[in-house]
Amino acid sequence: MREVAAVFRRDFAAYFATPVAAVFLSVFLVLAAALPFQLGRFYELGQADLATFFAFHPWLYLFFVPAVAMRLWAEERKSGTLELLLTLPLSTAQAVAGKFLAAWTFVGLALTLTFPMWITVNYLGEPDNGAILAAYAGSFLMAGGFLAIGSCLSAATRSQVVAYVLSVAVGLLLLLAGHDLVLAALRAWAPAWLVDSVAALSFLTHFQAIARGVLDLADLLYFVLTIALWLAATAIVLDRGRSR
C-alpha cells in the first residue's frame, strides 16, 4: 500500500508542476457550465434538476479524459523513466494502481469543482439531491472507465498523440453503442437480445440509468469491472514490454 501511495503522490503532484492542470481545469469547468446553458436550455426548461448538466458529461469526458490519460505511460516511455519506475521495489500492478488513482483523483477534482451548479439549482428550486448525488457518483465512475481505457492504450505506445486518438476512438464506440440513433437502427432489424447486448456494452446506457437516481448494482458493477479489466490489461502490456 505504501508503494501505491508513493506513486500516487508523485504523479498527482506532477499535474500541478506545470500550467497544464490549470488549463485543463479551467477549460473543463467553463465548458461544463456553459454547455447546459447554451445548448441544454437550462433556464428555458424551468426544471429544478441537473439532467441537462449531466447529459454533457459523457461527451466532455470523451475528449478531456484521454488528454489526462495519454501521458500516464507514453510520456514515461518516451522520456526513458518507465524502465526506472519498473525497476523500483514495487510490482507492475502497484505502479498501475498508483498512477491511475492519481489521474482519477485529478479528474475527480475537476468534477468536484462543478459544485456551483448544484448550489445554483438548489437556489432556483427544490431538486432531488439524492438523484444529483447519484449522478455525480455515476459521472465519477464513468470518468474512471474512460481513464482506464486511456491508461491501457497509453501503455501500448510511445506517442501521446496516438494514445489520445485511440482512446477517443474506443470511447466513442462505447458511447455510440448506447445512443438512441444506433439502438433505433438496430431495433429495425435485429432481435431484442442483440439490441440489449449492444446497449449493455455502452457507457451511455449505464450512466443514464445512474443519472436518473437509480443505483442499480449491475450499472455500478459494469463500471467497476470495466476499470478493473482495462487496468489489468495495462499491467499485462507493461509486463510484456518489460520482458522484451
Tens of pLDDT, residues 47-94 = 667 888 899 999 999 999 999 999 888 777 777 676 667 777 788 888
Model confidence at 163, pLDDT cuts 50, 70, 90, reads very high
| DSSP secondary structure string for all residues of 167-227 | HHHHHHHHHHTT-HHHHHHHHTTS-HHHHHHHHHT-HHHHHHHHHTT---HHHHHHHHHHH
- Mean of the per-residue pLDDT values for the chain? 86
Angle between helices 203-211 and 160-176 (to 10 degrees): 60
pLDDT at 112 over 70: yes
How many Å apart are CA 31 and CA 24, to the nearest integer? 11
Whole-angstrom CA distances from 54 to 85, 158, 204 are: 37, 34, 11
pLDDT at 207 over 90: yes
Model confidence at 106, pLDDT cuts 50, 70, 90, reads very high
pLDDT at 244 over 60: no
pLDDT (mean) for 106-113: 95
Angle between helices 217-243 and 203-211 (to 10 degrees): 140
Give me the pLDDT at residue 45, please: 61
Comparison of pLDDT for 109 and 83, the residue scoring more: 109
pLDDT at 40 over 90: no
pLDDT digits (tens, 9 = 90+) for 212-241: 888 888 899 999 999 999 999 999 988 886
| DSSP secondary structure string for all residues of 20-44 | HHHHHHHHHHHHHHHHHHHTS-HHH
Answer yes or no: are the C-beta atoms of 103 and 167 closer than 8 Å. no
